[in-house]
Structure 1
Amino acid sequence: MIHFSLFSSLQPTGGHNETSGPRLILLPPRKMINKSRGKILGVLALFLVVVWYAIYREDGYTQLFYFPAQENKTTCPLGEVEKKAVQLIANYSREQPLFLQLKDYFWVKTPSLYELPYGTKGSEDVLLRLLSITHYSVPESIQRLKCRRCAVVGNGHRLRNSSMGETIDAYDIVIRLNNAPVHGYEQDVGSKTTMRLFYPESAHFNPRRENNPETLLVLVPFKPADFQWLEAILNDKKRVRKGFWKQPPLIWDADPQRVRVLNPYFMEVTAAKLLNLPMKQPRKVKQKPTTGLLAITLALHLCDLVHIAGFGYPDLANKKQTIHYYEQITLKSMAASEHNVSHEAMAIKRMLELGLLKNLTYF
């Protein structure tokens, strides 16, 4: 039964019929309510459409001029690096420690098979002294990461004017090489440095200016004199001046607690398994891996995701093209080096093909 309001008793008077004058048309209360609700919902929907359109226009306008840094917050590919590395590195294992530690040289049960740079045979005494003033631990900030997303930053010319700085800084771990500067190049190379690999001849950088306070300074030892140089520097002893192809710095203001000595095992893996170099070579034809390729090997053993930037050299015919983003040295300077850059380029391309690495800059 439909209930009408009190006003339903009002009817026209004076004998008028339905056509003789206007008649008040009454609606049931429920229909009136439904009609009101419809109007309110319609107005609300129109309001939401207007707001959405305004936001859409603003976002669309912003996107025309805003280029966000590459996001690296993808699902962590845990275990993928290990699976793919086995295809390239025989007997691949993450069991080896990253850095040398003092306790391993008090009682040496299994002496190293090789001399530097592939082992520590014959350098144990000076290494004992050096390890007594440096550290070996991996910082807790790295250990507690559930996924270690790493960027290995080369020193290549292609980083110049690349605007890659924000992208590089977004990684959990950023590994840099030798004396490559950060100060003044932040827009292209970033400012974050988790580790810096170096050797004495490449230590011509200000450790406190070109790195973060927590940066690990990782010595890559090529010869016994490298141990002697670092020990003398940190203990403020008489400096070692002989045995270097280029004079290393005589003053180097580094905190010994941030200094590490890289395990020569990684140099061995890089040389023998990535470049197929013999561990014992004639002195006249010696070849060694670059610090850059060594850093990639280290990252493969440390990280769950490895991206590289600033790797690659100019075409061999282009002798005037500079090879670094921060100085005017050309490929001609590599002629007398002990590095085979073409061989290394093939090794990196192989890793890219296997999906071990991703390249952030063209290679």
Structure 2
Amino acid sequence: MKTITVVGASLAGLTAARQLRAQGFDGRLVIVGEEPHQPYDRPPLSKDFLLGRAEEADLALTDATERASLEAEWMLGVHAIGLDHSAGEVMLDNGAVRTDGVVIATGARPRTLAGQGDLSGVHTLRTIEDALALRADLDRAERVVVVGAGFVGAEVASTCAARGLDVTVLEAAPKPLAGLGEEMASACAALHGDHGVRLLCGTGVVGLSGDHRVREVLLTDGSSITADVVVVGVGVVPTTTWLEGSGISLANGVACDSGCRTSLSGVVAVGDVAHVGGHRVEHWTNATQQPRVAVRNLLAGALVESCADVPYFWSDQYGVRIQFAGRVLPSDKVEVVDGSVEERAFVAVWRRETVDVGVLAFNTPKLFNRLRRGLRTE
């Protein structure tokens, strides 16, 4: 391969570029990113950045020295609009790149509510621009409604509470993070009430109302909640529209084998957009681990290694560090092995027969890390 193009200039794309050079690729390296920014860290957007304790420069994932060492051609503020595999081209909104290999790292876009774009004061959170707009609105707000109690929604609710705002969180499921089971999901839910945030579960949103600016969130039970700002955190959609018609297999993202290889030769996918071995994982750690395997297989032109890392994520909410690793099933047995759920400092382990398959910790990182290393990989 003389030219490899990385499409996506966030964490997964940057890590892939680093791996290409680390694994000996010395050809032309092109990095395409739809945002005008150099790669930056997204997790602080819902925390320190939203609080005003961090600014854009603090989020940078790379510096001028590293960028020089990568010897890459950066095409920022440019959208990929197609992939012509037979011609060996990535089509862009300002031209095309002739390439021998492709790393797809285009991530995902937030889901939105019907009618969301018609009213100001309604936000999703994915980019620096999203966070800046939300931060400015929060400076003038008193009442905030967060739709969705997943990690992004919970972190935003925590940040808004720290700013002294009146916060309500709406969750359509009976409990947030219901996949953790009743007891552990209840522990996550209790954090909101501990800090004066109202959590309404089993509650759907049918619409938003207001005159140019949002004023109310309309619920499925016929009631409504007054809001100055609404933050929508109801999941993401993999960014794959640009690949339609390319011949690549798409299935809740870009379909990949266990080594991040797609159905097209010379094309791999990593990060939020990659559906690898039956799973798509939308967490920071995954974006740093998959690229090494993907790049190795891309350069080898064959499946020489599979992803074997146990999924891991963390979230900071209301001063509590929540960590989880593994893949658990409803039939797995969960047991608190250290600490107290009531005191919000504990470790719980999921077991499948006699094998540990998952671990959850609240503010107990040392034991969590030890137990995480012993989890079964699939």
TM-score by length of 2: 0.25
Give the structure with higher Rg (CA). 1
Structure of greater relative contact order (alpha carbons < 8 Å, 6+ residues apart)? 1
Structure with more of its chain in helix, by fraction = 1
Which structure shows the bigger proportion of residues in strand conformation?
A: 2
